[in-house]
Structure 1
Amino acid sequence: MITLVRSELHRMATVRSTWLSVAIVGALGLLFGVFDAAAWQLLAGVGTFGLAVMHVGQHYQHRTAVLLHLAQPNRTVTLVGHLVAAVVVALVFMTLSGATVLLDGDIREFRDAAAVVPLMAVFAAANAAIFRRPTWLFLGYGGWFIFVEGLAGRLDAPLPFSAYLAAGGGDRSSLLVFAGWTGVSVIGALFAVRRDLVGD
């Protein structure tokens, strides 16, 4: 497990598109944190979602999932390794991009983000293991957020991204709701990782 997590972190650190994305979104986070801690929290969640989806989804896009599963036949272990690596990257990303939030003295906002951002990393990585197509996942959840959670639910329904936003604002019941959505995603991913890779 430790070898797998170390390998995944090494891959993320050496793939140019990944570390470039971390650098750009991290710089935006530093800028947002100067003006508004809530805007930084939103960017931390969106950035974490994007990084985790790309991290897992690239294995299926570039067909490296086959080699990964040959090296580690237990697909549950592979999934857990992805989830742990996504959480580690999310915490590093959140800490670096939130430096200006901490310097401004917004400790509560940073603490609330630290409680929910790791859940977002697990949620995103699990969804990427289920759907395996990052572009479809981004488009699908973009439409879901705008039309279902935004227009229909008015960001107040107990749905994933609404719960993330409320939990980032310190609402503990919303944190539990988002943890529930994350748990459902992980359960789905545990079944999805056993699917055949030929069709991907």
Structure 2
Amino acid sequence: MIAVIRSEMYRSVSIMSSWLALIGFAFMAALVGWFSKEAWSLFAGVGAFGVAVTVTAQHYQHRTMVLVLLNHPHRWRVLISQCVSAAVLGVVLAAVSGLAVLLGESAAHYRSTVLVAPVMAVFGTLCTVVVRHPMWLLGGVFAWLLFAEGLINGMAIGLPFASFAMASAGNVKALLILLAWTAAAIPPAVWSVYRDVSSD
């Protein structure tokens, strides 16, 4: 298992698009962090999700998933290693992008956001394993965030990104809801990881 995680981490940091996604999302979150710690938390969560989607989807885009599964026939181990890799990148993104919030004497908010960011990254990985097409998923998430969570739900507790934003402020109920969303994504992801990958 350690070898699979090490391999996935090496692949994640050795591909240029991973670095571009990490730097781009971190820059956007950091820019917003100068104005509002709450907006920074939301952008850090979206960024952790986006980086997880980018890193995970590369296997399907570049057709390397077939080779990975030939080397590691236990597909659930590959899924776990992808989740761990995305979680580490999510922590890095939140930690680096939130320096303005940390310097602005909001250490508790910074700490809770960094601790919750890996959950959103794992959620992003699980969603990507099911959808497998990053542009479809990111486009769908943008529409979901704008309409379902923003306009219809008013960023109230109950949906994943709003729950992340509230959990980042220390709301335990919101964290439990986010964990429930992530747990609900596990069965379809486990089913999907056993699907044929040669046709993607």
The reply to whether TM is greater than 0.5 is: yes
Q: Do the aligned partners of 2:44 and 2:94 also contact (CA within 8 Å) in 1?
A: yes
CA deviation vs aligned residue, 1:96-115 (integer Å, no higher than 9, x gap): 22222222221121122123
Q: Deviations over 1:67-95 (max 9, x none)?
A: 01001000000000000111111112211
**Aligned AA for 2:132?**
R
Matched, 1:78 2:75: no
| Structure 2 partner of 1:47 | 47
Identity of counterpart residues, as a percentage?
38
Q: AA paired with 2:110?
A: F
What amino acid maps onto 1:35 in structure 2? Answer: F
In the alignment of these two chains, the number of paired residues is 200
CA contact (8 A) 1:149 1:157 kept: no
> In the alignment, which residue of structure 1 is the partner of 2:106?
106
Q: Which residue of 2 aligns with 1:152?
A: 152
Between the aligned partners of 2:64 and 2:92, the Cα distance in structure 1 is 25
Task: Give the equivalent residue in structure 1 for 2:183.
Answer: 183
Question: Residue 199 in 1 paired to residue 173 in 2?
Answer: no
Runs of 5+ in structure 2 lacking a partner?
none
Ranges in structure 1 where 5+ consecutive residues have no aligned partner = none
Inter-partner Cα distance in structure 2 for 1:159 and 1:34: 26
1:130 and 1:192 in contact (8 A); partners too: yes
Deviations 1:105-142 (A, max 9, x none): 21121122123211101100000011111111111122
* Residue of structure 2 in register with 1:27 after alignment: 27
Change over 3 Å in CA distance of 1:33–1:119 after alignment to 2: same
Letter matched to residue 40 of structure 1: W
Mapped contact 1:52–1:121 kept (Cα < 8 A): yes
Aligned partner letter, 2:166? A
* TM-score, normalisation: structure 1: 0.93
**Structure 1: how far apart are the matches of 2:29 and 2:166?**
19
Q: 1:4 and 1:166 mapped to 2: Cα distance? A: 34
TM-aligned CA deviation for residue 157 of structure 1: 5.0
Root-mean-square deviation (CA, aligned residues, Å) is 1.5
Cα distance, 1:143 vs structure 2: 1.6
TM-score when normalising by structure 2: 0.93
In the TM superposition, what whole-angstrom CA distance separates every residue of 1:136-191 from its partner, at most 9, and x where no partner exists? Answer: 11111222222222222222251212211221232210110010000111222111
CA distance in 2, matches of 1:66, 1:21: 24
1:2-41 pair list within 5 angstroms? 2-41=2-41
